Amino acid sequence: MDDFALGDDLRLRELIERLEARSATIGIVGMGYVGQPLALRYAETGFRVIGFDIDNDKAAELNAGHSSIEHIDDSAVARAVANGRFEATADIARAAEADALIICVPTPLNKYREPDLGFVVRTLESLVPNLRAGQVISLESTTYPGTTEEEIVARVEKGGFPVGKDVFVVYSPEREDPGNAHFTTHTIPKVVGGHTPACLEAGKALYAGVIDRVVPMTSTRAAEMTKLLENIHRAVNIGLVNEMKIVADRMGIDLFEVIDAAATKPFGFTPYYPGPGLGGHCIPVDPFYLTWKAREYGLHTRFIELSGEVNRAMPEYVVGKLIKALNDKKKALNGCRVLVLGVAYKKNVDDMRESPSVEVMELLRASGAEIAYSDPHVPVFPPMRAHAFDLESVPLDAGTLAGFDAVVLATDHARFDYEMIREHAALIVDSRGVWRDAAPNIVRA
């Protein structure tokens, strides 16, 4: 155990032995984009897994061998269920059966763009009465530094379990990238920080059997900050390139050509590409977790907040480009029929969390446009916390395109026929730089 001796800590030693022997039961709370792949990974490596979710229908669906997440193969779920390695339930009292409890619940922002830990807090309030000595708890939800100590450790110890002695608490941020075929759950290195040295050893044992590389951290706070840095790095660079897009457009320069040329430099440059805004469960949210927490220390994170302002303004910029293009054709947006291509937050996935496409749709609707969308990965617009559209994806063909005054490419799915779109759309607003050649009906946004 490297720098830590187990000594006479019987509970920790027995827990680690069960984890190393794969005789431990793993409980994963939250059967979403993070929880499901992790559950299947544990199951395929020989662990027994209980998947917890407050949605009874989702639990029943998983137990029937079906996942509603597009990139998760039903056969993998069915195989795990048939092997007796995986079952889903809404009964949180069964948490006592698990040797490890991994929390994978949402951590969104509220309407004031402040951290909303409601899902985490409610999960803990339901878990603590069902804890027992000898368990390890890992929080994977993205959050600000100090959350594990302030929310989990405090509640577990208030429940009568000394952390580091009876129950072991770690923070290990999720690093899922839906739709990325180059990386899977087990090939992405796993950062782990423990509340105590004993907690860290439990956390390392929890993940070492299913993840190729575990990266230990000195504290949960350092692990929490690591996750924020990863995504703030992306948010800031995307904000930079989105701002440069506006400048380049005003100057009549093709920024995509510039980025491609800059990317030929073999050192010191990483290409980022502009778009209609930020999407996904992390990048649009994480920077504001840190800016909020920094205020507690009397700090104002100006650089991070500036990039946030730029990125949040991108949907409005896209709609502004559409308005100008319509004006040039002697048309008003009010009353026009507009087709939005792609409502998922990125290409080739069905994940709509924080999708900028939806913000574009909201702005179009508010301006009086009649809107529809086409997305091969999202056949029906799903219920969302902040948005409501009673829409279904329309087929994308020449006849459909002929019925719209304009098309807004918001998400560049590979399954779109871009040549057909260019040929038959009256007006295209391209927010992803798909069409590199100039054409009379294409406006870059």
* pLDDT tens digits, one per residue of 152-179: 999 999 999 999 999 999 999 999 877 7
What's the whole-model pTM score? 0.90
Rounded to whole angstroms, what are the CA distances from 238 to 10, 109, 169, 284, 316?
Answer: 49, 20, 34, 11, 16
Q: pLDDT tens-digit profile of 182-237?
A: 888 999 999 999 999 999 999 999 999 999 999 999 999 999 999 999 999 999 99
Domain ranges in the chain are: 10-218, 257-444
Token pair in block for residue 271: 């290409």
Report how far residue 48's alpha carbon sits from residue 83's, in angstroms, rounded to the nearest whole number. Answer: 10
Considering only the C-alpha atoms of the chain, give the largest distance between any 2 of them, rounded to a whole number of Å. 81
Indicate if 282 belongs to the active site: yes
Chain centroid to CA 137: how far? 21
Task: Tell me the per-residue pLDDT of 428-438, one tens digit each, with 9 for 90 and over.
Answer: 999 999 998 88
* Annotated active-site residue in 104, 199, 282, 336: 282
Partners of residue 337 on adjacent β-strands: 370
Give the pLDDT confidence of 299-331 residue by residue, as tens digits. 999 989 999 999 999 999 999 999 999 999 999
**CATH architecture under which domain 10-218 falls:** 3-Layer(aba) Sandwich (3.40)
406-409 sheet: strands from edge to edge:
370-374, 337-341, 406-409, 428-430, 442-444
Residue 116: strand, helix, or coil: coil
CATH topology for the 257-444 domain: Rossmann fold (3.40.50)
Identify the CA nearest to 89 among candidates 64, 56, 121, 48.
56
Task: Give the strands of the sheet with 214-217, arranged side by side.
Answer: 86-89, 48-52, 25-29, 100-103, 135-139, 167-171, 190-194, 214-217
Q: Tell me which residue has tokens 């937050």.
A: 345
Pairing of strands 167-171, 190-194: antiparallel
Dihedral, 41, 42, 48, 50 alpha carbons, nearest 10: -80
DSSP annotation of 9 reads: -
Q: Are strands 190-194 and 214-217 parallel, antiparallel or unpaired?
A: parallel
CB 53 within 8 A of CB 31: yes
Among 161, 150, 132, 177, residue whose Cα is nearest residue 14: 132
What pLDDT, on a 0 to 100 scale, did the predictor assign at position 279?
85
Instruction: Work out the pLDDT band at 285, boundaries 50, 70, 90.
Output: confident
